[in-house]
Amino acid sequence: MAETKKYIVGVFDDEDVLLPAVKKIRAEGVQIHDVYTPYPVHHLDTYLGYKRTRLGKAAFLFGATGTTLAITMISYMLGFDWPMDIGGKDFLPAPNFVPVTFESTVLISALGMVGTFLVSRGLGPGKKAIMFDPRSTDDKHVMAINLDKNTKHSKEDIVAILKQNGVTEEPKEVDL
């Protein structure tokens, strides 16, 4: 049976209040689990201290794999499996490889990146979505703070810090 985690959830109405609050709460030493917003908020990832993802490197590796697979497949099919001599041309004409190689590179790269994203985020078919407050998909900004990871501050301290930084409702405790 999965172990439950305790979170303190604060709700903000405005991103202009949320961004300074994230900065101040992190400066207090409170570790924020995540912030859920109804739309992308500029610089929120910077304020939360997120590192750059390695998805670009994964895209390059998947693209190189797609290129290699396409060239290998075309070379094998046209050079060895079913060689054709059409009008005295080379039996492995490289310029003719370009469209198939490009499409294979894009296809394998895109599929690989989607798979990498789903695996790295723990998403997949049948996975239950984590929803701290359903209004985070509508018009509210929701900040979740994991109580188990914030051992320096008590629950009451975190609630007080949230209240000092502009939450619009009483912070609530959620078990997931």
- For residues 116 and 141, membership in a common domain is answered with no
Comparing C-alpha atoms, which of 76, 66, 71, 72 is closest to residue 95? 71
- pLDDT value at residue 115: 92
- For residues 99 and 158, membership in a common domain is answered with no
- For residues 41 and 72, membership in a common domain is answered with no
Which residues partner with 12 through β-bridges?
141
Regarding pTM above 0.85, the answer is no
Q: Considering the domain boundaries, does residue 149 fall inside one?
A: yes
169 vs 93: CA distance, rounded Å = 68
- For residues 66 and 100, membership in a common domain is answered with yes
Q: Considering the domain boundaries, does residue 128 fall inside one?
A: no
Residue 149 three-state SS: coil
Q: Considering the domain boundaries, does residue 129 fall inside one?
A: no
- For residues 45 and 81, membership in a common domain is answered with no
Q: Considering the domain boundaries, does residue 126 fall inside one?
A: no
- For residues 13 and 41, membership in a common domain is answered with yes
Q: Considering the domain boundaries, does residue 155 fall inside one?
A: yes
- For residues 60 and 105, membership in a common domain is answered with yes
Which range of residues forms the domain containing residue 40?
6-52+134-175
Comparing C-alpha atoms, which of 105, 93, 22, 42 is closest to residue 68? 105
- For residues 46 and 78, membership in a common domain is answered with no
- pLDDT value at residue 2: 61
Contact residues for 145 (Cβ-Cβ < 8 A; gap 6+): 7, 8, 9, 10, 25, 30, 31, 32, 33, 158, 162
Q: Considering the domain boundaries, does residue 127 fall inside one?
A: no
Q: Considering the domain boundaries, does residue 41 fall inside one?
A: yes
Q: How many domains does the chain have?
A: 2
Q: Number of C-alpha atoms within 13 angstroms, CB side, residue 93?
A: 10
- For residues 116 and 58, membership in a common domain is answered with yes
Domain end marker among 121, 147, 164: 121
- For residues 58 and 109, membership in a common domain is answered with yes
pLDDT tens per residue, the chain (176 residues)? 567 889 999 999 999 999 999 999 999 999 999 999 999 999 999 999 999 888 889 999 999 999 999 999 988 988 788 877 777 776 667 787 899 999 999 999 999 999 998 888 888 888 888 889 999 899 999 999 999 888 888 999 999 999 999 999 999 998 88
